[in-house]
A and B are shown apart, each in its own frame.
Chain A
Amino acid sequence: EADIYQTPRYLVIGTGKKITLECSQTMGHDKMYWYQQDPGMELHLIHYSYGVNSTEKGDLSSESTVSRIRTEHFPLTLESARPSHTSQYLCASKGQLATGELFFGEGSRLTVL
């Protein structure tokens, strides 16, 4: 069982609010990722990090930002949420091996009214 945790699991907020989705892992993985998932669509990589103080934008442009101050923690922030941000956000981490798999959290489902 993967030791990667996301909070909140579900969040309903109004337009213009600032939100932070938390992601923590206890496996000591350097590599962490945020994917955005919409129904019937593939997972889109929006951010990734290969270690502390390292963050990169993914393949899908996103208005969210991330930080990596500690190895185990990779939060995602939206400064001003909009209805177009309504989606499921999945956090994942990966060990050192290039052949290693991603371990996923259970996701944070965000609804912006």
Chain B
Amino acid sequence: AQSVTQLGSHVSVSEGALVLLRCNYSSSVPPYLFWYVQYPNQGLQLLLKYTSAATLVKGINGFEAEFKKSETSFHLTKPSAHMSDAAEYFCAVSGDFGNEKLTFGTGTRLTIIP
């Protein structure tokens, strides 16, 4: 079965500092991986996705993530945090046996310190 582990339920960074949100996955087949962002009282919005093309994926709002098969990781980064980045971030995986259901991690709440 596929699964996702997000290390750190809360992450705080200063405005302008590097953002690093960690995600490790487990999948018995080559996975499709996603990062979603959720702002307060809203649904989830896709940030970026990995679908077996380039291992470095660029998304919206300056975020990017790198797929590392050897480490089973798909960490999300942004070089310089902005106040508007404060939100909840979810990593998700799909792909087991053509399974089109996404399995989500528990989320990481990102706080930006002015």
- What string of 1s and 0s marks CB contacts (under 8 Å) between A19-48 and chain B? 000000000000101010000111101001
Contact B32 A107 (CB under 8 A): no
Given contacts A41-B106, A42-B106, A99-B32, contact A107 B43 (CB under 8 A): yes
Binds A, one of B61-69, B73-81, B97-105: B97-105
Given contacts A33-B101, A102-B44, A102-B102, contact A40 B90 (CB under 8 A): no
- What string of 1s and 0s marks CB contacts (under 8 Å) between A79-111 and chain B? 000000000001010100011011111110100
A75, CB-defined interface residue at 8 Å: no
CA–CA, A41 to B94, complex, Å?
19
| Residues in B whose Cβ lies below 8 Å from that of A94 | 100
| Residues in A whose Cβ lies below 8 Å from that of B102 | 45, 102
Given contacts A42-B106, A98-B32, A101-B49, contact A90 B100 (CB under 8 A): no
| Residues in A whose Cβ lies below 8 Å from that of B45 | 104
A51, CB-defined interface residue at 8 Å: no
CA–CA, A98 to B51, complex, Å?
9
Q: Which one of B9, B44, B51, B105 lies within 8 Å of A104 (CB-CB)?
A: B44
**Smallest CB separation, B18 vs chain A (Å):** 25
Which B residues are within 8 Å of any A CB, using their own CB?
4, 9, 32, 34, 36, 41-46, 49, 51, 90, 94-95, 98, 100-107
Which A residues are within 8 Å of any B CB, using their own CB?
2, 4, 6, 31, 33, 35, 40-43, 45, 48, 50, 58-59, 90, 92, 94, 98-99, 101-107, 109
15 A–B contacts, CB within 8 A, in A order: A2-B43, A4-B43, A6-B43, A35-B104, A40-B106, A40-B107, A41-B106, A42-B104, A45-B101, A45-B103, A58-B101, A98-B94, A99-B51, A101-B34, A104-B45
